[in-house]
Amino acid sequence: MKIKIGIIFGGTSREREISFAGGRTVYDNLNKALFEPVPLFVDSFGNIILLDWAYIYKGSIRDFYPSAEHIPNSENEFQYYAEQTGPLSREEQLDLVKPLGRVVEFSELCGLIDFAFLCLHGSDGEDGRIQGMLEYLRIPYSGSGILSSAIGMNKAVQKEWMRKAGFKIPKYSRLSRTQWNSVSDHAGLFNQLKTDVGLPFVVKSANQGSSIGVSVVNTDDVNSFITAVNKSFFRFEIKRDDWKNKNAEEQVEFIRRLTDIREGIGMPLLWDEKMFYSPDELLDAVRNYFNTNDKTITLEAADGESEILIEEFLTGKEFSCIVIENTDGIPVALPPTEIRKGKEVFDYRSKYLPGLSRKITPIDLPATQLAEITDQCEKLFTAFHFNVYARIDGFITEGGKIFLNDPNTTSGMLPSSFFFHQAAEIGLNPSQFLTYIIRTSVASRESDFKNITSLPKLLQSLDKAIEADRKHDKEKIKVAVMLGGYSSERHISVESGRNIYEKLASSVKYEPLPVFVSGSNAQHFLHTIPVNILLKDNADDIKEKVEHWKVHPLINEIVEKCKGITQKYSSLQNLAAPQLITYDDLSKMVQFVFIALHGRPGEDGVSQQQLERVGLPYNGSGVASSQTTIDKYKTTEILMHSGLHAAKHKLVYKKEWLSDAATFYKNIISEFKFPFIAKPVDDGCSSAVKMIRSEDDLNAFCQLIFRSTESFDEAIAAKLKIKPKEELSQKEVILIEELIAKKNADRFLEITGGMLTHVDENGNVQYELFEASEALSEGDVLSLEEKFLAGQGQNITPARYYPKDKKINQRISDKVKVELERAARLLKVEGYCRIDAFVRIFNTDDVEVLFIEVNSLPGMTPATCIFHQAAINNYKPYEFIDKIIEFGFKKQRMLVE
């Protein structure tokens, strides 16, 4: 019988989206031969919800909670969390929960689960409260116990304990909200802190993570100090002149960011003792207030911080280190990772979007300093009475001094997080590491709980199941997962490929082999890679490790210390050296290839051509279809010539721009009114898609996209609001498109619709259309983050074509699906695909679908909406992937026959 693992995720904290994404990672990566996952979602009000599994695959909490019928109408398209819908009674909260599952009382957990895997962050999750409740019920749980969790939560308490235990800590000062409210001489306090702590210094909340509420004060300016302190207390001041200098659009964007729980103060919030729940309500109130008043507005989050730290700014190398217990219960520090983040703040975006920051493992230091870091981390693990695992961050200065800070009893559990990244260095893939965490946690609770006879039996049963599962590995179907590539989408491809690998690695049917693709249009290369390279931060890191393969002596030492773990949970191939192979080699190694590439090669038919040559079945469309859909211009031309709708468009060439830029611009402007869209013709994932509002914008875009060097002018990039490390490919041709607008339609929305193909008994391809998602963008166009970063974008699935009436909504949806299927058949798409489009709705009956692009190998990251859509049709992500693979095998058999 499988062990029931209750995954507790979500929560009330500002880090709830990371917790939600982490819970999904655990749900997906639990070994399906050993465990039965039970999703227990904690909502904004603290209710524990036995969640319908389909909601786990939404991109963010806001995609499903509150559900569409409970989301207030927002003219400004603000995105709502449940607590922003108003002050809800207990009955109203339960009504909000009904579409999702059912509320579970804590006492019910004993009958639902055998073990609790804690993915909560912040208050109620890392502070010992839930650990205490689970201990009362005698339910074993993951990670550290009550005492160490409580210590690990509060940064101020941590500093005191660390100082008393003899660890180096930076100079710091504590400041409570009560103290700050009573300060009349801000300049005097600032001067005192400059003396006590020194300038620059860091201001941060005592009980937050993910760099939320953190600022660096590096100028001798009291106003910067006041702003930083208010930010950490989740308080904000709006001055009348600042507000009036913003246009209406800028005011909306300001409120959007202000009320965001990740970068602003969140909601509900207080203003002059009145509680505001809705961003729309707040926007109207601020506008009305400044029409007649000039006094500064002070807003404060209802869940504002009670205490902050002002801490000495440390220079040097920043690192993070996961410490685990080996099979003898001895703490072992895994290879510490250096965080290279450039000049920008290491914020939510930098931490969790692939390709923005770099993780160097182990940190590039002499052996003696590396040994000192691991030794210090292991000692802190013991001093704080941690159990099973912990994440410890720190700095090493240029002078070699080590400062540890912010030890965490719960790490982020996204696929590329430190938690999995460092475990991979000793050869554990995510599924194996989670099995280790569960088994070690049960053993730890056996010691904590005392006299509980059920835990030894649970351990014995689990050990037998682990041994039996390892013997079954030889029978599994071997699948190569191709990822990476050389396009601007290579980092997203790595994220997609990792996700496919992890889904297959936790299955009872498949054994995946990661294959990294690099090179250029002229020639590309295939390398098999070990799991520790697979879990590097991005495609460029993987490429570097493949080309300069070596095993650091520290890693060899740690692998030796953890050999009891690796022998029990891992396999030798997980740490095998990268190997350059050909397609012919690949055909002898695997039975199937899953192409997780985006852009070139992959979506252009090049890889498919080679796989067909060596007789390997693969996922997705064939060569000819792929060669068509990679080209947005060609795709929309085919669709429009067959009577389908798309935007007016035109190809423009670099050679024309170089020859006569003035005439080049004049010709475009004569055909397309501002604003219009400019984008590459053969890149996807919102790569370099920009709204052009003026000739200056057009000039800036052309200078960037037609540049002759890889680097680009930051001043020009700033004009187009290019984000730090956002990639812009160099192109010889770009696509200009008319901006698709609402015009006189009653409803207008952007959608993305997925589908799956099957083969019937007569050998005909049948299309299974999913309910499309409505994509909500916070900017001009859907960004990379909104499409692929967990917790960032919002996709409402099914799309709200006509939310007032479900029957009419479904009727419109069916019409849209007919158009999407027509497009897929015209383009001979096979396997699966995603189609992006705009929909205009007139009088509930007349529906116009305007196609944007067709993705024959759509993104398969954990947060992408094709998984939300598949879930409505009762496919879990693994089952969806399994169907894609099954179709690939059938298509191959049909070709042979």
pLDDT (tens digit per residue) in 6-43:
999 999 988 899 899 999 999 999 999 999 999 999 99
Neighbours of 401 (CB within 10 A): 13
What DSSP character marks residue 72? P
What is the residue type of 651?
L
Is residue 285 within a helix (H) or strand (E), and if so which, with residue range?
helix 279-292
Which structure tokens are listed for 293?
């008043």
Q: What angle do CA 86, 89, 92 make, to 5 degrees?
A: 80
Residue pair 275/88 in contact (Cβ under 8 Å)? The answer is: no
Residue whose entry in the numeric block shows the structure tokens 């000819």: 624
Residue pair 475/511 in contact (Cβ under 8 Å)? The answer is: no
Q: What is the pLDDT of residue 152?
A: 65
What DSSP character marks residue 386? -
Burial class, 760, CB count within 10 angstroms (exposed 0-12 / middle 13-18 / buried 19+): exposed
Q: What is the pLDDT of residue 791?
A: 44
Report which of 422, 437, 333 is spatially closest to residue 379, judged by C-alpha positions. 333
CB neighbours of 612 closer than 8 A, spacing ≥ 6?
622, 623, 895
For every residue of 195-233, DSSP letters joined together read: HHT-SSEEEEETT--TTTT-EEE-SS-HHHHHHHHHHHT
Which structure tokens are listed for 620?
């997705």
Asked whether the bond before 675 is cis by omega within 30 degrees of 0, the reply is yes
Instruction: Determine the Cα–Cα distance for residues 69 and 233; give it in Å rounded to an integer.
Output: 34
Whether the predicted pLDDT of 319 surpasses 50: yes
Mean pLDDT value across residues 495-507: 95
3-state helix, strand, coil in the chain (%, to 5): 40, 20, 35
Instruction: Determine the Cα–Cα distance for residues 75 and 696; give it in Å rounded to an integer.
Output: 30
What percentage of residues in the chain have a pLDDT greater than 70? 95
Burial class, 225, CB count within 10 angstroms (exposed 0-12 / middle 13-18 / buried 19+): buried
Residue pair 728/705 in contact (Cβ under 8 Å)? The answer is: yes
Instruction: Determine the Cα–Cα distance for residues 495 and 660; give it in Å rounded to an integer.
Output: 41
Whether the predicted pLDDT of 725 surpasses 80: no
Length of the chain: 897
Which structure tokens are listed for 30?
């639990």
Mean pLDDT value across residues 254-261: 92
What DSSP character marks residue 258? H
Q: What angle do CA 850, 856, 860 make, to 5 degrees?
A: 105
Instruction: Determine the Cα–Cα distance for residues 540 and 492; give it in Å rounded to an integer.
Output: 12
Instruction: Determine the Cα–Cα distance for residues 651 and 634; give it in Å rounded to an integer.
Output: 10
Report which of 793, 454, 497, 481 is spatially closest to residue 618, judged by C-alpha positions. 481
Banded pLDDT at 351 (limits 50, 70, 90):
low
Instruction: Determine the Cα–Cα distance for residues 784 and 786; give it in Å rounded to an integer.
Output: 6
Instruction: Determine the Cα–Cα distance for residues 98 and 85; give it in Å rounded to an integer.
Output: 16
What DSSP character marks residue 384? T
What DSSP character marks residue 814? H
Instruction: Determine the Cα–Cα distance for residues 143 and 434; give it in Å rounded to an integer.
Output: 11
Residue pair 119/19 in contact (Cβ under 8 Å)? The answer is: yes
What is the residue type of 321?
C
Instruction: Determine the Cα–Cα distance for residues 373 and 422; give it in Å rounded to an integer.
Output: 15
Banded pLDDT at 508 (limits 50, 70, 90):
very high
Is residue 785 within a helix (H) or strand (E), and if so which, with residue range?
helix 784-788
Q: What is the pLDDT of residue 45?
A: 93
In this predicted structure, which of 395-409, 644-658, 878-892 has the lowest mean pLDDT?
A: 395-409
Q: What angle do CA 375, 380, 382 make, to 5 degrees?
A: 100
Residue pair 481/504 in contact (Cβ under 8 Å)? The answer is: yes
Whether the predicted pLDDT of 353 surpasses 60: no
Report which of 346, 362, 394, 687 is spatially closest to residue 536, judged by C-alpha positions. 362
pLDDT tens per residue across span 870-890? 999 999 999 999 999 999 999
Q: What is the pLDDT of residue 777?
A: 65
Kindly compute the dihedral angle of the four CA atoms of residues 832, 794, 305, 397, in this order, to the nearest 10 degrees: 50
pLDDT tens per residue across span 233-256? 999 999 999 999 999 999 999 999
SS3 of residue 830 by DSSP: coil
pTM recorded for the entire structure = 0.89
Residue 602 to residues 175, 207, 419, 485, 611: CA-CA distances in angstroms?
55, 45, 30, 8, 11
Banded pLDDT at 348 (limits 50, 70, 90):
very low
Which structure tokens are listed for 703?
């200078």
Q: What is the pLDDT of residue 344?
A: 42
Structural Rg of the chain based on CA atoms = 27
Instruction: Determine the Cα–Cα distance for residues 547 and 539; give it in Å rounded to an integer.
Output: 12
Q: What is the pLDDT of residue 474?
A: 76
Neighbours of 522 (CB within 10 A): 5
Residue pair 693/676 in contact (Cβ under 8 Å)? The answer is: no
Report which of 349, 276, 304 is spatially closest to residue 213, judged by C-alpha positions. 304
Whether the predicted pLDDT of 125 surpasses 90: no
Instruction: Determine the Cα–Cα distance for residues 74 and 80; give it in Å rounded to an integer.
Output: 9
Residue pair 46/125 in contact (Cβ under 8 Å)? The answer is: no
Whether the predicted pLDDT of 454 surpasses 90: no
Q: Give me the chain's average pLDDT, please.
A: 90
Residue pair 570/428 in contact (Cβ under 8 Å)? The answer is: yes
Which structure tokens are listed for 397?
């200065």
Residue pair 300/233 in contact (Cβ under 8 Å)? The answer is: yes
In this predicted structure, which of 2-11, 204-213, 759-768 has the lowest mean pLDDT?
A: 204-213
Q: What is the pLDDT of residue 292?
A: 93
Which structure tokens are listed for 591?
């039975």
Which is higher by pLDDT, 38 or 788? 38
Which structure tokens are listed for 545?
């490790």
Mean pLDDT value across residues 542-570: 93
What DSSP character marks residue 61? G
Residue 831 half-sphere exposure, CB side, CA atoms within 13 Å?
A: 26
Is residue 500 within a helix (H) or strand (E), and if so which, with residue range?
helix 490-505
Q: What is the pLDDT of residue 534?
A: 95
In this predicted structure, which of 65-74, 219-228, 315-324, 378-387 has the lowest mean pLDDT?
A: 65-74
Q: What is the pLDDT of residue 686?
A: 60
Instruction: Determine the Cα–Cα distance for residues 358 and 491; give it in Å rounded to an integer.
Output: 12
What is the residue type of 216?
V
Whether the predicted pLDDT of 352 surpasses 70: no
What percentage of residues in the chain have a pLDDT greater than 90? 72
In this predicted structure, which of 64-73, 375-384, 511-520, 553-562 has the lowest mean pLDDT?
A: 64-73
Q: What is the pLDDT of residue 210?
A: 56
